Structure formats: structure tokens, C-alpha cells
Amino acid sequence: MHIKVLGAAAGGGFPQWNCGCPNCRDARSGAIAAKPLTQECVAVSADTERWFLLNASPEIRSQIESFRGLHPRGPRHSPIAGIVLTNGDLDHCLGLLSLRESHPLVIYATERVRRGFTEGNVLYRTLQRFPGQVTWRTLELGKETDIVGLAVEALPAPGKPPIHLEGDGVSDPGDNIGLLVRDPNTRKRLAYFSAAAAVTSAMRAAFDRADCVFFDGTFWASDELIALGLGDKRAEQMAHLPVGGEDGSLRALAGVRAPKRIYIHVNNTNPLLRPRSPERVRAEAEGWEIAYDGMEVSL
């Protein structure tokens, strides 16, 4: 299984256009050797010929251009055979509207995420210009779906609906999912959970069976945005389990048996982005890597 990280950052990217936090400021000035990051999007393939994307970031055009494996092999062609959405957040879905150049798209999502994106959305009409422009395939929780020869299973992950649908009623297990991707030939397994408010026992069991885990690396600290004066929400209120702290994911996932463990969807405020920060040193000492644009993993 081939995994290519096209974008490793949380919503806003790094540096973020309107952010002068220490990380964004120091990355711009060169005071820290930190490369810019685009918003989360990952390509997966069994054979390097046909790929599917995990999420469609607002930066999808430049992300596709950044990786030859996704370039057309003919006058009108794309090796992207499908796009899998893990939730309805705009950093995961806006890129769909950028793929409106009359190319048939196959999108895999829970019914809840499909409805959240399509219902009442006049902009979605740009993806309905001809019959079959978009084919939606429903991800049923706990069931495997074949995508380009890989078995993909959606597992509910504690989360929430996207900000623009908050307040539209109760939340649902289909609002936010993680993905288990299994290669039936090599028997390798990827567990992909880029947004999670907590670790369930089912998630933990999946991580123990996986060869590689990608996990929510949005915030180091629960009060990260508050402490920097950038917001009034704690990480948990945004449905992101922080990495550090007593109840953070480093602790919660200590001892997970997956040999490769990677934090992704890293917010620009996170000290993990600073080379040699104590937080980064600690995460690396515990066996975690921090995803970056262009990162490749082969299982």
C-alpha cells in the first residue's frame, strides 16, 4: 500500500493567512526551519496506478500538481478513482468544488456527510452539470467497501458535525469517521483517524492491528488557542483530543502496537511544528512522527 501525504495541516494551513502566532510568524521570517503545510489530504493506492484521496482540501489543485502519481495520463484523465470523506468539515470538503471541470467523480461518505454537503447547497449544482458527474457511494459503519483493490471500512470516531451544521439537531455516529484500509494481497493495514475527540475501545483495537496509524494531531494542549489569545474554545469543544497532557493522545495511545504512528491535521499553533521543541522531542521519543507535505509511507 502506498500512502502519500499531500497536506498535513489542519484547517487554515501553516502559516495561516491571518495568523501571527509564534509558529506562523517564525515560519514566515525563517526564525524556525519549518516548511509550510497545506491542509489535510492524503492519497492512497495499492498499485501506484489508481489512487483514492482521503478528504478533499481547499488546496487540492496544487496538491494534485505536487505529486506526479496524480497527473493525467491522457488528454482527459485522472488517476484519482475516488475521494473518501471522513467528515463534513470545510477543510475536508471544499476541494470537491474545485474539481468541477466536468470530470466524473466518485465520492465515498456516510449518508450524514453526503447530506450535509449536498442539501441546500447551491454551489453543489456545479457538480451536477451532467448525469453521473458525481457518484456517491455510502460508507456504512463497520462494513468494508472495495476501492481500487483496497478494502476500506468506516469506523465511527467521537466527533461532531461541521461548524456550519452545528445547532441543526443531535449529532450522529456518521458525522465523523476513521478509516481502516486493508490490502488483501499484502495484508497490510492503515488506520486513518485525522479527527477524534477520544479513543474508543474499537479504535484502540484497530490501532493494535494496524501497520500504520495516522491520528489527530491538531492541538498539543487543550487550551492552546485560549492561551495564545486566538480563540475561546478548548480543543475538546472542537472535537479534537489534544496530544499532550494527562488525558492527551500520547498517553491514551501509549503502548499501541502499530509500528508506524503519525500525527496529522496539525494546527499551525501546535508546538509540534517547531523543530526540536520539547513537545516534538517528547512525541518523537515515544515513537510518533509528525506528518509533512510530501511524506511517503509504503506498507
Residues that bind ligand MLT (CB under 6 A): 10-11, 89-91, 162-163, 195, 238
Question: Could you tell me the smallest distance in angstroms from the CB atom of residue 94 to Mn ion?
Answer: 11
Question: Could you tell me the smallest distance in angstroms from the CB atom of residue 240 to ligand MLT?
Answer: 6
CA-closest candidate to residue 11, choices 276, 231, 260: 231
Question: Could you tell me the smallest distance in angstroms from the CB atom of residue 265 to Mn ion?
Answer: 6
Question: Could you tell me the smallest distance in angstroms from the CB atom of residue 255 to Zn ion?
Answer: 32
Strand partners, 84: 54, 108
Question: Could you tell me the smallest distance in angstroms from the CB atom of residue 86 to ligand MLT?
Answer: 10
Q: Compute how many residues bind Mn ion; rule: CB under 5 A.
A: 4
Give the one residue of 268, 270, 272, 291 binding Zn ion; rule: CB under 5 A.
268
**Between 71 and 110, how does the x/- string for binding to Mn ion read (CB under 5 A)?**
------------------x-x-------------------
What whole-number distance in Å separates Cα of residue 229 and Cα of residue 208? 38
Q: Compute how many residues bind Zn ion; rule: CB under 5 A.
A: 5
**Cis peptide leading into residue 15 (ω within 30°):** yes
Query: What are the strands, taking DSSP E only, across 173-239?
Result: 177-182, 189-193, 212-216
The pair phi, psi for residue 132, each rounded to 5°, is 85, 5
How far, rounded to the nearest angstrom, does the alpha carbon of residue 17 sit from its chain's CA centroid?
Answer: 20
What is the footprint of Mn ion within residues 1-30 (CB under 5 A)?
10-11
Closer CB to ligand MLT, residue 189 or residue 265?
265
Dihedral in degrees, nearest 10, Cα atoms 280, 39, 12, 274: 20
Closer CB to ligand MLT, residue 78 or residue 87?
87
Q: Which does 90 bind (CB under 5 to 8 A by kind): Zn ion, Mn ion, ligand MLT, none?
A: ligand MLT
Q: Which does 295 bind (CB under 5 to 8 A by kind): ligand MLT, Zn ion, Mn ion, none?
A: none
Contacts for 144 with CB less than 8 Å, ≥ 6 apart? 151, 152, 153, 182
Reduce the DSSP state of residue 213 to 3 states and report it.
strand
24: contact with Zn ion by CB under 5 A = yes
**Grid coordinates of 60:** 487540492
